[in-house]
Amino acid sequence: MDTLHHIVVVGGGAGGLELVTRLGNRLGKKQKARITLVDAGLTHVWKPLLHEVASGSLDASANEINYRAHARKHHYEFQLGRMGGLDRDRREIVIQAFHDQDGEEVVPERRIGYDTLVIAVGSTANDFGTPGAQSNCLFLDSLEQARRFHDLMLNAFLRKNHDAAEGGSGRLPITIIGAGATGVELAAELRLASRELPVYGMNNLRQDDISITVVEAADRILPALPARLSVAATRELLNQNVKVLTGQPVSEVRERSIVMKDGIELASEMTIWAAGIKAPAFLAKLGLETGRGNQLLVRQTLQTTRDDDIFALGDCAACPQPDSDRPVPPRAQSAHQQAATLYKSLVNRLEGKEAVPFVYNDHGSLINFSRYTTVGNLMGNLSGRSMYVEGKVARLFYLSLYRMHQVALHGLLRTGVIWFMDRISRAMQPRLKLH
């Protein structure tokens, strides 16, 4: 009978994968604990990169991490499946049956026991119940959705190029609803794609045929970030011929248009929803305390309020902070920091020590406008003041965020090799993924 303490982590996103990697290297390798990762997919791609996958400026296959291979290398187990329930009395989670593309059952519903459970299932876009959003919008919550978006975009460009060659209109209006970091960065990536594709044979399209509009309900884009960043980002989008509409809530999404709250209707043949986030709905049915947007309520130790054996981190957790009435913001740097803190707490847990309280350190925000420029603010660790950066310096800091994630997963030496291979690949491959 297995007597090792069993730590189960549900969700292989940035925080969850970094956590099992560190736990596996420290505890799994030395047989001090059994570590299991559960995820509904077979591979991991850093979520902040999905908009680049969608536009074609990043080849996901070169940046994917296979969970099974990674688990073997870092001494943890991997279970394929989606969490569907929780039995706290038996300390078991329910994993839904897994089906193939034809609907055939591959693995039946099953249960996995745990001694410590960590829920790190991230978030999805929140359409706030807007009529027509689910049926007429594209979303970028997963690698599958990003790849589908890429295919649809290429087909739309190809169709419009043919129409223009036949004397018809090549006009393709694209609308992004939501001007947070994802929406703004996606707009820049799409503008790059619209300028690059004619080089690869779609030369009947004029640059003005592809209109890109960003719609934001708040009175400025990037409403969660400092106003100076919003001004700089607005200026850059306008320079790239991206229309910016602020103070414009969307009341309905139709097949080929969107309707504003004031009744104005805008043509849109491709509509992307990038406004707001919420945690997966199943979290509200687990018997744990949840708050706004289905987030699990946790204490500062990241332990859920109703069960000390269950932790949560990342976007799916509402973690309080001292001297603040707002929980930790849903950012990649938050998940990275929480994974590091929770790693210490779980090691302490096996040694009979107390959990470590999580304290969020805001290192600033960076917004990348594809290959054009990068703007952002960096927080000073000593002064606490922010420093505005842009251009090459900001781009360097932006790229370092992903490299830090890779170092957490692969180590410094392997990350250096990956970086070198990336440079070679970018030199040999087209600037855009064309299939």
Q: Determine the structural domain holding residue 386 and report its residue range.
A: 364-428
For the chain, how many structural domains are there in total? 3
State which of 275, 299, 314 marks the end of a domain. Answer: 275
d(C-alpha 308, C-alpha 321), whole Å? 18
| pLDDT one-digit tens code per residue, 204-246 | 888 788 999 999 999 999 998 888 889 999 999 999 999 999 9
**100-104, 308-312, 428-432: which is most confident:** 308-312
| pLDDT one-digit tens code per residue, 329-372 | 988 899 999 999 999 999 999 999 999 999 999 888 888 887 77
State which of 275, 304, 321 marks the end of a domain. Answer: 275
d(C-alpha 386, C-alpha 13), whole Å? 28
Has residue 356 been placed in a domain? no
Provide the CATH number for the domain around residue 31: 3.50.50.60
Regarding whether 245 and 165 lie in a shared domain, the answer is yes
| pLDDT one-digit tens code per residue, 372-389 | 788 888 764 434 567 777
Has residue 359 been placed in a domain? no
Closest CA to 215 of 239, 235, 187, 195: 187
Regarding whether 145 and 207 lie in a shared domain, the answer is yes
Q: What is the pTM of this model?
A: 0.91
Helix (H, G, I), strand (E, B) or coil at 291: coil
Has residue 263 been placed in a domain? yes
DSSP 302-351: SEETTEEEEEE-GGGEE---TT-SSPPP--HHHHHHHHHHHHHHHHHHHT
Regarding whether 247 and 229 lie in a shared domain, the answer is yes
Regarding whether 110 and 94 lie in a shared domain, the answer is yes
d(C-alpha 183, C-alpha 223), whole Å? 12
Has residue 1 been placed in a domain? no
Closest CA to 53 of 125, 154, 133: 154
